Amino acid sequence: MVLSDLGVLMLEKLDTGVVHPARRYNYWLGGKDNFAADRESGDLLAQSYPAARIAARANRAFLQRAVGYLAGEAGIRQFLDIGTGLPTADNTHEVAQRIAPEARIVYADNDPMVMAHARALLTSTPEGLTRYLEEDLREPQRILDHPELTETLDLKQPVALMLVAIVHFLPDQAAARNVVQTLLDALPSGSYLTMSCATKDFLTPELAANWDETLRTGKSDVYPRDRAAFAEFFDGLEIVEPGIVAVSEWRPEPDAEENPAPVDASIFGAVARKP
């Protein structure tokens, strides 16, 4: 791995023996910024759900299409992306600032490796602004109160809240809803919620049983939601067409190299506007 001096210092905080979802996701996407524990966890989950790598790519493509819609058709110029993950091609700010160079983006993640890479590799356009917070989704008020967030985003103007493949790491539905609602309550009318979450709804009974077993034995930290539970996060919001669908079916690009079936991209995705 090539890291800046800042990155090296931050990596001293890492426990490389503990799995982190961002690094496991990086492994599934074919990246090199992961450790043995992350690869072992990724391989164990892939044994139960062989399409895990396909789903990871489909989820990433959903993020990019959603940001394109928000910056383009919806006219959003501010983004709060929580659960950033390790930098790869076409991150939120890159997609948004291609459309609107003045767009402002705040990323937040709780992995120091993510922050080391983000600060070293992700640079804003001169017209816009990008900031990175080392914060945890489970403490939403800390994110909202962070001085770098309030210096970067005007919370009196619409913000796109990006919670892509992150809420399914919160096992308790009530607690997860409270986290999301706390964030939404801080955003004005005209803001958007973009969210994706793992689901078993599209799986065969065998694959669903495999998933249950990985949770029971502690091999997985991904807690799927059915459609009804996922829809609860959008209560009171105006859901954008095509609604709640598999991420691969949310405004797919006709010429995309890969357009997997829901069983292989078993993740719900949706975008909704706060009225």
Confidence of residue 135 (pLDDT cuts 50, 70, 90): very high
Residue 4, pLDDT score: 41
The answer to whether the peptide bond before residue 147 is cis (omega within 30 degrees of 0) is: no
**CA proximity to 180, closest of 246, 97, 236, 128:** 236
How many angstroms separate the CA atoms of 130 and 138, rounded? 22
**CA proximity to 105, closest of 56, 162, 29, 144:** 162
Tens digit of each residue's pLDDT (9 = 90 or more) over 17-38: 666 666 776 776 666 666 777 7
Q: pTM score, two decimals?
A: 0.85
Tens digit of each residue's pLDDT (9 = 90 or more) over 206-261: 989 988 998 898 888 889 999 999 999 999 999 999 999 999 999 999 887 778 99
Tens digit of each residue's pLDDT (9 = 90 or more) over 91-105: 899 999 999 999 999
The phi and psi torsions of 66 (rounded to 5 degrees) equal: -65, -45
| Range with the poorest average pLDDT among 2-11, 50-59, 96-105, 231-240 | 2-11
% of the chain surpassing 70 pLDDT: 82
Residue 157, pLDDT score: 98
The HSE-up count of residue 148 (CA atoms within 13 Å, CB side) is 13
How many angstroms separate the CA atoms of 227 and 221, rounded? 19
- Length of the chain counted residue by residue: 275
Residue 14 predicted with pLDDT over 60: no
The position carrying tokens 């800046």 is 4
Rg (Cα) of the chain, in Å, rounded? 18
Q: What is the mean pLDDT of residues 110-129?
A: 76
Give the number of other CB atoms < 10 A from CB of residue 17: 8
Q: Which domains does the chain carry?
A: 17-273 (3.40.50.150)
Residue 5, pLDDT score: 42
% of the chain surpassing 90 pLDDT: 61
How many angstroms separate the CA atoms of 221 and 224, rounded? 10
Q: Which residues pair with 106 in a beta bridge?
A: 80, 131
